[in-house]
């Protein structure tokens, strides 16, 4: 936990600097190898000053995770007005492209962090909430009783596939091929569910 929550702008800048240094330290040494001293050195802040804001390394990691999640939520917030008007195939491509850009931003510190860290359920929650917003704007998806299951499979599968691809030095497929495959997989899954539902709802003649 944070020892002292920043209120003044200067303190907020200091905390953000420590968090950014945490991402760099993890990218250099891994989750277990990074130390508070290393984070302090990268941030240019004394170890004593660091402990004024964070109790220990785990508290810094918690703040880093929240920072990462906040950036994903902010990305979704900016994309949502456009995404809800697109067909599902284009939604998957744009969403995963944007997620990839976020992971590779600032020298790929998020990508290196997410490779070492545990997958945050908060990321999944943010994406599931977007999926429900998309369904509200496209009511045909609300017909599906197993919408939550489909979303879970497609979202987690897409996220892990993108992270795995970007983390592999020489992947067997291009990123565009991956996006096309994931988009087709998602649309095919939904199409199959709609076809099954239509068959169940069709009256026997």
Domain boundaries, the chain: 1-55, 67-201
Segment holding 130, helix H or strand E: helix 121-137
The string of pLDDT tens digits covering residues 120-178 is 677 778 888 899 999 999 999 999 989 989 998 998 899 889 999 999 999 999 999 99
Residue 7: phi and psi, rounded to 5, are -115, -40
Residue written as token pair 């020489």: 170
User: What b-and-e string marks burial along 135-174, b requiring 16 or more CB atoms within 10 Å of the CB?
Assistant: beeeeebeebeebeebbeebbeebbebbbebbeeeeeeee
| Of the candidates 112, 93, 103, the residue with the CA atom closest to the CA atom of residue 179 | 93
Architecture label for domain 67-201: Orthogonal Bundle (1.10)
Q: Which segments in the chain show pLDDT lower than 70?
A: 1-7, 117-120, 201-205
- How many CB atoms neighbour CB 180 within 10 A? 15
Give pTM, 2 decimals: 0.84
Q: Does domain 1-55 have CATH number 3.40.50.720?
A: no
pLDDT at residue 86, as a whole number: 96
pLDDT at residue 199, as a whole number: 82
């Amino acid at each position: 936990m944070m020892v002292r929550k920043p209120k003044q702008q200067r303190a907020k800048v200091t905390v953000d600097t420590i968090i950014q240094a945490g991402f760099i330290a993890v990218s250099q040494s891994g989750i277990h190898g990074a130390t508070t001293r290393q984070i302090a050195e990268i941030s240019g802040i004394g170890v004593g000053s660091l402990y004024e804001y964070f109790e220990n390394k785990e508290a810094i990691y918690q703040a880093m995770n929240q920072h990462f999640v906040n950036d994903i939520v902010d990305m979704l917030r900016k994309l949502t007005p456009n995404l809800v008007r697109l067909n599902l195939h284009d939604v998957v491509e744009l969403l995963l492209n944007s997620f990839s850009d976020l992971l590779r931003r600032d020298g790929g510190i998020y990508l290196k962090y997410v490779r070492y860290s545990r997958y945050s359920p908060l990321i999944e929650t943010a994406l599931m909430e977007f999926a429900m917003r998309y369904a509200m704007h496209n009511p045909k998806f609300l017909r599906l009783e197993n919408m939550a299951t489909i979303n879970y499979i497609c979202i987690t599968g897409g996220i892990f596939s993108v992270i795995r691809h970007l983390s592999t030095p020489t992947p067997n497929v291009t990123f565009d091929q991956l996006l096309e495959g994931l988009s087709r997989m998602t649309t095919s899954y939904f199409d199959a569910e709609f076809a099954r539902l239509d068959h169940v709802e069709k009256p026997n003649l």
